[in-house]
Amino acid sequence: MQAVAKNQGAFWKHALLVVALFGAALLVRLYRLEAQSLWLDEGSSWELSRQAWSVLLADLLRPNAAYPLYHVLLKGWMGFAGESEAALRMPSVLAGALAVPLVYLMSLEVARLGLEESRPRAPGICWAGFAAALILLASPFAIWYSQEAKVYSLLLFNATLVLWALARVLRTGALRDWALLLVVGVVALFVHRLSILLVAAGAWLMALQVVGHRPRSWLNLLAPALAGLFSGLLVIAMISGLGGEQAAGRSAAGAAIPADPWLALELTVVRFSLDRWPGDSPSWWLLPWLLLAGLGLVAALVDLRRSATRLRAAFVLVMLFVPLGLFLLQLVVTRLYEARYLMMIYPAWLLLLTYPLLKPGAAQVSGQRTRIVRKSLTYGLVSAYALLLAGALFTGGRALVQPVFGLFSGDPVKEQYREAFAELATRVHPDDAIVLHPNYLRPLYDYYMARFSRDPALQPLTFANFWQGETSFGQREWDLERRAGLAGFTRSFLVIAPEHARTVDPPLPGDEYGLVGNYWRFSREQRTWPCGIWRFNGAHLLCQQAPEPYYTGAAAPTPARPVGAIFGDDLIFQGYTLKATMPVGPGVYRAGGNVPLSLFWEVTAPLEADYSLFLHLCQACDQPPAAGEDGPPLEGYLPTSTWLPGKPARDDRTIHLPADLAPGTYTMLLGLYDPNDPTPAGRLRIRGGDTLGDDRLVLGSIEVVANEP
């Protein structure tokens, strides 16, 4: 009865710890979950997971589909939870949070390997597992992928599950544990094909275990070597096969980088520790991580010489260094590296960091805690290790809040496609050209434009020859394709991701952009007008407006609604064109969409001031407007002081309607003012046209309908 009560107490102690670890990990991973925009790979996850079920299920059996099970799971999840940023990332959040208590349970199993127990005892708290769980809970590397709509958080959970099941098999040999290991091992190959590295390491560890229980002979020693050689060749062949279709996409997306094995090893240690590239953080931040890894390696190598701890040490070393070695070996073939590709060894990395604490854990299992602790570790060594562990947790926390780089710093550390497309959505006209560069920005364009505007998204232009990397595609070919693509458009917007664009459209030395970006960046040199440049982290939006004769060879258009009002003494408002965004034609607009106008101006004499304009929508026009637009013409790139007689100016504007704007009829008002005096006294007086007072021109009225899908 006493033993039963003790076992029950130990069970509830572990259960409470597991629940507490999961709750803490979940809270950390939910913190600021939607603060960062979706980036390229997350957009691809959303796009791929919207394919038909038949396509996604067929991918499960396609060898060069890198992680097909994730897209199947994400599609099912989106059908339940929707497609918001938080919903897309929630499977990764849950997988990352579950991995934390699972790491503790995995460490508990590893700590019990090789122990000879005369009678079953309830294991106490595994301090190595607790330390590993704390590191994972606060790991910048793990948290990043727990807040990303990609497979790697699920891969971390699955890899931890494989190691846990493998340790149970090695400890018990029970049939049910073998069945569990077989299931999670097979599932791992569908979670990510690179899990074959883990499977190969597990098979090699099993081979070594079999050899260790048989009389030594050259045949027994040769068996694991042949198994390792065969699995290594299989891994290299498989990853090379993935490289044909998938590696090219990863390289073009800027995710993977060329790296030799030694550089890849260095980058892996830095990324696993702090989720940084070398030089992004103070070098001393890495010191506690290196010392922990060094101590763990030394302790494991020492344990290899002891029969009681040999299996435990071999488990950690084989499951860490065999997959790592095979991956580094295949870099000779593919040359494409990213630390996340090695996510499956992250649980073994945690075991290495906390390996010295496995000895106290073993003492608890054997029931001789005090004697073993005093015999194996002095209090000084324990204190030194605790200080190193605290230092690692401290630097990891500093990395999370580090300005510019830290995920919890409040700075944009992911590419701000959300912000770029939000800006575009409030400015675009139905007859504008939208250019995306590179062309694989398309999933994010489709995702965000549908969320930021109730108007139908325009079909964007892309230039596929840059994506294909044709060596013959140069200035002449670009000029021809651009002229054909932009023919008939007066205004165009370019959304460009500079760091990704340079991989397919490399800039000349000293330039920020290649051929595509430079065309919009230097609009004046193209005999066109710049109408705005908005720079966000990793994503830029550029606007260009061209006189119609330059693009089409036709005469400049006249406004559809002539007005002829005079602002001040020399500024004539010729009229405007109101464009349609709904099938019923101009005059009816949906809340959450845009009211697109083109304003036509000319001057009778040069102006001395640079004026700004406002467009207001109102019902009770003696009250603040319900919606509006304010700013200089052409975003200030063509100041009114530069306008010349005989050269009319056209300014395309939009009034963005709030999504909650009440349906009804609204009056449109136009006015000009001196930005140095934004009060009504600074407005230009108006002669001619229908006015409210003498400083607001009535353009007419529009009908706003409800914001409905």
pLDDT tens digits, one per residue of 104-149: 999 999 998 866 543 445 567 888 999 999 999 999 999 999 999 9
**What 3 state SS string does 565-624 have?**
EEECCCEEEEEEEECCCCCCCCCEEECCCEEEEEEEEEECCCCCCCCEEEEEEECCCCCC
Q: What is the per-residue pLDDT for 363?
A: 39
Which range among 58-72, 299-313, 352-366 has the greatest average pLDDT? 58-72
Secondary structure (3-state) at 696: strand
Tell me the H-state helices in 31-151.
40-49, 53-59, 68-81, 85-111, 127-138, 140-146
Q: Does residue 246 surpass a pLDDT of 50?
A: no
Least confident of 51-60, 96-105, 219-228, 445-454: 219-228
What's the mean pLDDT in 357-378?
A: 50
What is the radius of gyration, based on Cα positions, of the chain? Answer: 32
Q: Residue 120's pLDDT is what?
A: 47
Mean predicted lDDT score pLDDT of the chain? 85
Strand, helix or coil at 687? strand
> Quick one: pLDDT at residue 212?
57
Arithmetic mean of pLDDT, 66-88: 95
Give the DSSP H/E element, type plus range, for residue 667. Answer: strand 664-673
Q: What pLDDT is attached to residue 305?
A: 83
Type of residue at 4: V
Determine the pLDDT at residue 10. 66
pLDDT digits (tens, 9 = 90+) for 589-647: 999 999 999 999 999 999 988 999 999 999 999 899 999 999 998 888 888 998 888 88
d(CA 104, CA 110): 10
pLDDT in tens, 578-588: 998 887 778 89
Reported as a single tens digit per residue, the pLDDT across 614-627 is 999 999 998 999 99
Q: Is the pLDDT of residue 556 over 70?
A: no
CA-nearest of 160, 161, 357, 344 to 268 is 344
DSSP 3-state percent helix, strand, coil across the chain (nearest 5)? 55, 15, 30
Kindly provide the residue ranges of all beta strands, DSSP E only, lying in 506-567, ordered along the sequence: 529-536, 539-545, 561-567
Phi-psi sector, 695: left (phi>0), alpha (psi -120 to 50), beta: alpha
pLDDT above 60 (res 42): yes
pLDDT score at 247: 33
Q: Could you tell me which residues come within 8 angstroms of residue 661 by beta carbon, excluding any fewer than 6 positions away?
A: 591, 592, 626, 627, 704, 707
Mean pLDDT of the 22-31 span: 97
**202: which 2 tokens?**
């597990």
The fraction of the chain above a pLDDT of 90, given in percent, is 57
Three-class HEC string of 124-165? CCCHHHHHHHHHHHHCHHHHHHHCCCCCHHHHHHHHHHHHHH
Segments making up each domain of the chain, as ranges: 2-401, 433-551, 557-705
What angle do the packed helices 346-353 and 152-172 form, to 10 degrees?
A: 60
DSSP E strands in 326-429: the ranges are 336-337
Question: Percentage of the chain with pLDDT > 70?
Answer: 85
Better-predicted residue by pLDDT, 17 or 552: 17
Q: What are residue 615's DSSP bridge partners?
A: 629, 670
Q: What is the tens place of the pLDDT at every residue in 156-197?
A: 999 999 999 999 999 988 999 999 999 999 999 999 999 999
Judged against a pLDDT cut of 70, whether residue 439 lies above it is answered with: yes
Could you tell me which of 77, 98, 80, 79 has the C-alpha nearest to residue 89? Answer: 77
Alpha-carbon separation of residue 477 from 46, 440, 466, 487, 651 (angstroms)? 33, 20, 11, 16, 31
pTM of the entire predicted model: 0.87
Q: Report strand pairing: 594-603 vs 571-578.
A: antiparallel
Query: Parallel, antiparallel, or unpaired: how do β-strands 491-496 and 539-545 relate?
Result: antiparallel
Determine contact, residues 413/148, Cβ cutoff 8 Å. no
pLDDT in tens, 206-231: 877 765 554 444 344 444 454 454 44
Query: Given this model, what pLDDT does residue 289 score?
Result: 95
pLDDT in tens, 504-555: 888 989 899 999 999 999 887 777 888 889 999 999 999 998 765 444 445 6
Domain 557-705 = CATH 2.70.50.60: yes
Complete DSSP assignment for 371-390:
HHHHHH--HHHHHHHHHHHH
- At residue 39, the pLDDT reads 92
DSSP secondary structure letter of residue 461: B
Query: Beta strands 649-656 and 539-545: pairing type?
Result: unpaired
Q: Is the pLDDT of residue 453 over 70?
A: yes
- The model's confidence at residue 503, banded by pLDDT at 50, 70 and 90, is confident
Q: Using 50, 70 and 90 to split pLDDT, how confident is the model at 5?
A: low
Write phi, then psi, for 227 (nearest 5 degrees). -60, -40
User: In sequence order, what are the residues at sequence separation of 6 or more whose Cβ sits closer than 8 angstroms to the Cβ of residue 309?
Assistant: 114, 303, 359, 362
In contact, 643 and 417? CB cutoff 8 Å: no
| Residue in 298, 344, 86 with CA at minimum distance from that of residue 200 | 344
